[in-house]
């Protein structure tokens, strides 16, 4: 039996070419729409992240830095953070 005969041994009617073609077209259109609206979708995702986990205010960030600096100064051995002389 030749290669071509073996390859085309399956009846053509059993392969759902129309369904396969429709699915491929739908996936292509979905990908194109997602690429076109990508900036909008990214903005929406960032807004949702801010709703779930809001940013700290400047005062809160300053207080956190001050607390971290105080902890660092308390944990440092004597003379480690001295005047540098």
For the cut 90, the answer to whether the pLDDT of residue 5 exceeds it is no
What's the total number of domains in the chain? Answer: 1
Residue 55 within any structural domain of the chain: yes
Spell out the long-range contacts of 6-10 with Cβ–Cβ below 8 A and sequence spacing 24 or more: none
For the cut 60, the answer to whether the pLDDT of residue 16 exceeds it is yes
Residue 3 within any structural domain of the chain: no
- For 64, residues 6+ apart whose C-beta sits below 8 A from its C-beta are 56
76: its two tokens: 């440092």
The pLDDT tens digits for 28-81 are 999 999 999 999 999 999 999 999 998 889 999 999 999 999 888 888 766 555
Cβ neighbourhood burial of 85 (10 Å; 0-12, 13-18, 19+): exposed
| Beta strands per DSSP E along the chain | none
Residue 13 within any structural domain of the chain: no
For the cut 80, the answer to whether the pLDDT of residue 25 exceeds it is yes
Q: Domain limits at 60?
A: 33-76
Rounded Cα distance between 83 and 2, Å, is 90
């Amino acid at each position: 039996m030749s290669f071509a005969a073996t390859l085309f041994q399956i009846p053509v009617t059993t392969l759902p070419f129309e369904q396969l073609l429709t699915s491929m077209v739908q996936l292509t259109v979905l990908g194109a729409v997602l690429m076109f609206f990508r900036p909008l979708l990214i903005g929406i995702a960032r807004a949702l992240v801010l709703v779930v986990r809001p940013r700290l205010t400047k005062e809160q960030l300053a207080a956190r830095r001050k607390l971290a600096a105080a902890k660092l100064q308390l944990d440092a051995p004597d003379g480690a953070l001295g005047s540098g002389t």
